[in-house]
A and B are shown apart, each in its own frame.
Chain A
Amino acid sequence: MRISGRRSLMTSLTVGALALGLTSSVAFGQSMAPMADTPFGAGCAAVPADGDGSFAGMADDPVATAASANPILSTLVTAVTAAGLGDTLNGAEDITVFAPTNDAFTALDPATLEAALADPTGLLTTVLTYHVVPGRLSPDMLAGTHPTLQGGELTVEGMGDAFTVNGANVVCGNVQTANATVYLIDAVLLPPAE
């Protein structure tokens, strides 16, 4: 019986790779942490490739610090700083943050933005805390209605790579930071009137 060239090539490489992979992966296995999800979305291309603002850099920093290293979140960072929320967002444990990109702030009605910036500990803080949900939501937990730390609720719809939050699109989702899972969105969310 002739061992056909291609089949034996595949078989033997598979067996050999299996042998090597098995031994190597067991050798490394104990030091490895459980698998985490990966960021998704077309907007992720705008995240810097390296440095503190990259996915690698942000994973090690608490959320406000991580955002401050990311150029597409610079307006949000200005707002967070103006509201005095930097330490608070950094110190909150296990939260989900819906982070409006710079484009989201550009699209916001200028009068609303001015009013918020003029009232940093009032309206601005209210709007910003409306973007924070307790618990780290993974993509498969994302869809649904969630309470925010401002008090009101927001609603997420969609699945897979396509989600909306109160109608705003998630442009880059499941970004890991040290204390928060972040979903970048293309509109600023306004809390429901009381």
Chain B
Amino acid sequence: MTPQQHHRPSRTTIALGALSGLLAAAVAVGVGELVAALTDPATSSLVVVGGTFIDLTPEWLKSFAIATFGDQDKIALLAGIVATLAIVAAALGVLAARDLRLGVMGIVAFGVVGSVAALTRPGATLIDLLPTLMGTACALVALVLLIRTLVQPASPASPVPDLGAGTDPGVIRLATGEPASRRSFLALSAGTFGVAAGSMVVAQVLSGRPTQAASIALPAPSSPAGAIPAGADLALDGLSPYITPTDRFYRVDTALVIPSVDVASWRLRIGGMVDRPMELDYAALLARPLAERVITLTCVSNQVGGKYAGTATWLGVPLRDLLAEAGVQAGADQIVSRSVDGMSIGTPTTVAMDGRDAMIAVGMNGAPLPAVNGFPARMLVPGLYGYVSATKWLTEIELTTFDAFDPYWVTRGWAPEAPIKTMSRIDTPRPLSTLPAGRLAIAGVAWAQHRGIDGVEVRVDGGPWQEARLAAVDTIDTWRQWVLEWDATPGRHLLEVRATDATGATQPEQRAEPFPDGATGWHSVVMTVA
């Protein structure tokens, strides 16, 4: 054992050891980000590990973060993670100054944790280990170099002065100004900092590359959508357009960072209870016969009158074609689809295969899916809420059973099967607005996907229900606009709407919360006529 291990290190050693640990950690982060930017940004260790920690944070801690930091709770939690990481890194550095082997073991342990986190993500391949492995390796090199420079043993030519127990010969060298050692350490520290910072900068530059989606040309569908009837869009002021523009399409997800998927390395794996597991890359997916359909998508979290519904023209591979090729085995009653960031979604197999236009969508309103909407591919099943059907950044489809597996939202208490409930909404007049007296249009949308909307009624101030005029039907998987011409008299008014679907069922007045399987109730708007 070297003399250092028998002495309590001086404060200077502790300090510089801590610095070495922090710098090694900074190198790990910087190099990890750089390698991730070159391979796949979603795999950088911090993003993966940070996301996992956010999920594991107990509710009371999350609320404390909100109460103290407002809606920057995520930043606060991540700052807490970084602070903890910094403390651990500093402690490792101090340990390493006493015994380099301890520091090395500590860094290797972190490398193992990061590697496990990276590998356990769905669709992970060995390439995804690279950021963690490279980061760990560079951190090891940095720590070893720094600590070795810090605790250089005395050379035989200069006897160690006896300053009593508790002093560290190596640091006394620094303290009494052995220039070579101190300068080396400072130079090495500066260099390490430069490597860490430089890697970060290059990583940022690389991530700023234009997305690949812009350069993709989608093939024409072999099964195009029927022409949208002329009267399907009433084109009224304040009324939601029939087709929701892509940049106004709602977005609901739990993604900490929007996955930036590299199309060249992306794969869709179909497996589980199938006769012939499949793996397709993007080109193979696009080479298949594609269908184009107009479908209205709705989030289960949509409150009465909420905005989490949208309609787009989707281009994709029919899901039943893929599943038929894979050969779904009897008894596989649940399709579990997974995204690159770990989200799991469960869909009833019978619903997906009953002939409706369920698809793996690659195109939205004529262009490849934007990253926020699920590039390169997402699932869609008309008639089911998104949380049981519409996996974004899709990478895996597994045929299994409801008994065997509870997907993400089901483990949080949401219903495993969730057909979209009939709903209608007043888009105009806006709540608490003031409009001039005279003829006014009360207008909005109504939906009951995969059943169809038969009628919409409106009542003013609790009076008799009046039939609204409906826009032309496109398909049963889309919403329908409606309008009622109203002779508005001055005063404050309460407007209400309800819809009847094609099975003859009218929306119930009874209010239900979105949890666990969708909201119900008649939407109302209070406004003033001047």
How close is B415's CB to chain A, nearest CB, in angstroms? 18
Whether the Cβ atoms of A16 and B26 lie closer than 8 Å is yes
- Among A81-89, A108-116, A154-162, the one that faces the other chain is A81-89
- Among A18-26, A70-78, A99-107, A183-191, the one that faces the other chain is A18-26
- Residues of the B chain whose Cβ atoms lie less than 8 Å from the Cβ of A38: 67-70
Q: Which residue of B21, B176, B256, B494 contacts A16 across the interface (Cβ within 8 Å)?
A: B21
Whether the Cβ atoms of A92 and B432 lie closer than 8 Å is yes
A165-193 CB mask vs B (1 if < 8 Å, else 0) is 00000000010100000000000000000
* B73 to A, closest residue via Cβ: A56
Whether the Cβ atoms of B26 and A23 lie closer than 8 Å is yes
- Residues of the B chain whose Cβ atoms lie less than 8 Å from the Cβ of A118: none
CA distance A2 to B414 in the complex (A): 65
Contact residues, B370-416 vs A (CB, 8 A): none
Q: Is A135 an interface residue (CB 8 A)?
A: no
Knowing A19-B196, A20-B85, A37-B70 are in contact, say whether A88-B15 is a contact too (CB < 8 A): no
Whether the Cβ atoms of B11 and A6 lie closer than 8 Å is yes
Whether the Cβ atoms of A50 and B59 lie closer than 8 Å is yes
Contact residues, B229-286 vs A (CB, 8 A): 256-258
- Residues of the B chain whose Cβ atoms lie less than 8 Å from the Cβ of A5: 10-12, 15
Q: Is A27 an interface residue (CB 8 A)?
A: yes
Q: Is B461 an interface residue (CB 8 A)?
A: yes
How close is A11's CB to chain B, nearest CB, in angstroms? 8
* B26 to A, closest residue via Cβ: A19
Q: Is B291 an interface residue (CB 8 A)?
A: no
How close is A42's CB to chain B, nearest CB, in angstroms? 13
CA distance A125 to B461 in the complex (A): 13
CA distance A23 to B198 in the complex (A): 10
Whether the Cβ atoms of A20 and B189 lie closer than 8 Å is no
- Residues of the A chain whose Cβ atoms lie less than 8 Å from the Cβ of B67: 38-39, 44, 47, 49, 54-55
Whether the Cβ atoms of A49 and B432 lie closer than 8 Å is no
How many residues of B sit at the interface, in one of the four size bands?
Answer: 35 or more
Q: Is B309 an interface residue (CB 8 A)?
A: no
Whether the Cβ atoms of A90 and B303 lie closer than 8 Å is yes
Whether the Cβ atoms of A39 and B70 lie closer than 8 Å is yes
Q: Is B489 an interface residue (CB 8 A)?
A: no
- Residues of the B chain whose Cβ atoms lie less than 8 Å from the Cβ of A141: none
Q: Is B47 an interface residue (CB 8 A)?
A: yes
Q: Is B82 an interface residue (CB 8 A)?
A: yes
Interface of A is mostly: helix
* A89 to B, closest residue via Cβ: B431
Whether the Cβ atoms of A31 and B256 lie closer than 8 Å is yes
Q: Which residue of B44, B62, B78, B85 contacts A56 across the interface (Cβ within 8 Å)?
A: B62
Most buried by A among B60, B68, B177, B525: B525
* A14 to B, closest residue via Cβ: B19
Q: Is B181 an interface residue (CB 8 A)?
A: no
Interface of B is mostly: helix
- Residues of the A chain whose Cβ atoms lie less than 8 Å from the Cβ of B306: 62, 90
Q: Is B304 an interface residue (CB 8 A)?
A: yes
CA distance A174 to B69 in the complex (A): 12
How close is B446's CB to chain A, nearest CB, in angstroms? 15
Q: Which residue of B65, B175, B526 contacts A84 across the interface (Cβ within 8 Å)?
A: B526
CA distance A39 to B431 in the complex (A): 26
* A38 to B, closest residue via Cβ: B70
Whether the Cβ atoms of B432 and A149 lie closer than 8 Å is yes
CA distance A28 to B50 in the complex (A): 9
Whether the Cβ atoms of B22 and A20 lie closer than 8 Å is yes
Q: Which residue of B30, B59, B174, B432 contacts A88 across the interface (Cβ within 8 Å)?
A: B432
CA distance A151 to B490 in the complex (A): 14
Whether the Cβ atoms of A16 and B525 lie closer than 8 Å is no
Q: Is B453 an interface residue (CB 8 A)?
A: no
CA distance A36 to B73 in the complex (A): 10
Q: Is A132 an interface residue (CB 8 A)?
A: yes
* A59 to B, closest residue via Cβ: B71
Q: Is B63 an interface residue (CB 8 A)?
A: yes
Most buried by B among A16, A22, A28: A16
- Residues of the A chain whose Cβ atoms lie less than 8 Å from the Cβ of B175: 2-3
CA distance A35 to B76 in the complex (A): 11
* B175 to A, closest residue via Cβ: A2
CA distance A33 to B15 in the complex (A): 35
* A148 to B, closest residue via Cβ: B432
Knowing A15-B19, A19-B196, A21-B86 are in contact, say whether A32-B75 is a contact too (CB < 8 A): yes
- Residues of the A chain whose Cβ atoms lie less than 8 Å from the Cβ of B23: 16, 19
CA distance A97 to B125 in the complex (A): 51
Q: Is A145 an interface residue (CB 8 A)?
A: no
Q: Is B89 an interface residue (CB 8 A)?
A: yes
- Residues of the A chain whose Cβ atoms lie less than 8 Å from the Cβ of B204: 26
Q: Is B18 an interface residue (CB 8 A)?
A: yes
- Residues of the B chain whose Cβ atoms lie less than 8 Å from the Cβ of A28: 46-47, 50, 75, 78
How close is A84's CB to chain B, nearest CB, in angstroms? 5
Q: Which residue of B11, B26, B62, B494 contacts A8 across the interface (Cβ within 8 Å)?
A: B11
CA distance A38 to B71 in the complex (A): 8
CA distance A86 to B476 in the complex (A): 30
* B30 to A, closest residue via Cβ: A23
- Residues of the B chain whose Cβ atoms lie less than 8 Å from the Cβ of A33: 71-72
Whether the Cβ atoms of B82 and A55 lie closer than 8 Å is no
Q: Is B197 an interface residue (CB 8 A)?
A: yes
Contact residues, B493-517 vs A (CB, 8 A): 494
Extra A-B contacts (14), CB below 8 Å, given A84-B526, A87-B431: A9-B15, A16-B23, A20-B85, A20-B86, A23-B26, A28-B50, A31-B256, A31-B258, A35-B72, A38-B68, A38-B69, A59-B66, A91-B431, A126-B492
Q: Using a CB–CB distance below 8 Å, which chain A residues touch chain B?
A: 1-3, 5-6, 8-13, 15-17, 19-28, 30-33, 35-39, 44, 47, 49-51, 54-56, 59, 61-62, 65, 83-93, 95, 121, 125-126, 129, 132, 149, 151, 174, 176
Closest 3 CB pairs of A and B: A16-B22, A5-B11, A12-B19
Can you show 17 pairs from A to B with CB atoms below 8 A apart?
A5-B12, A8-B11, A13-B22, A16-B22, A16-B26, A20-B82, A22-B200, A23-B26, A24-B85, A27-B29, A35-B70, A36-B71, A50-B60, A56-B63, A56-B66, A88-B432, A88-B527
Q: Using a CB–CB distance below 8 Å, which chain B residues touch chain A?
A: 10-12, 14-16, 18-23, 25-26, 29-30, 33, 44, 46-47, 50, 59-60, 62-75, 78, 82, 85-86, 89-90, 93, 174-177, 189, 193, 196-197, 199-200, 203-204, 207, 256-258, 303-306, 430-432, 461, 492, 494, 521, 523-528
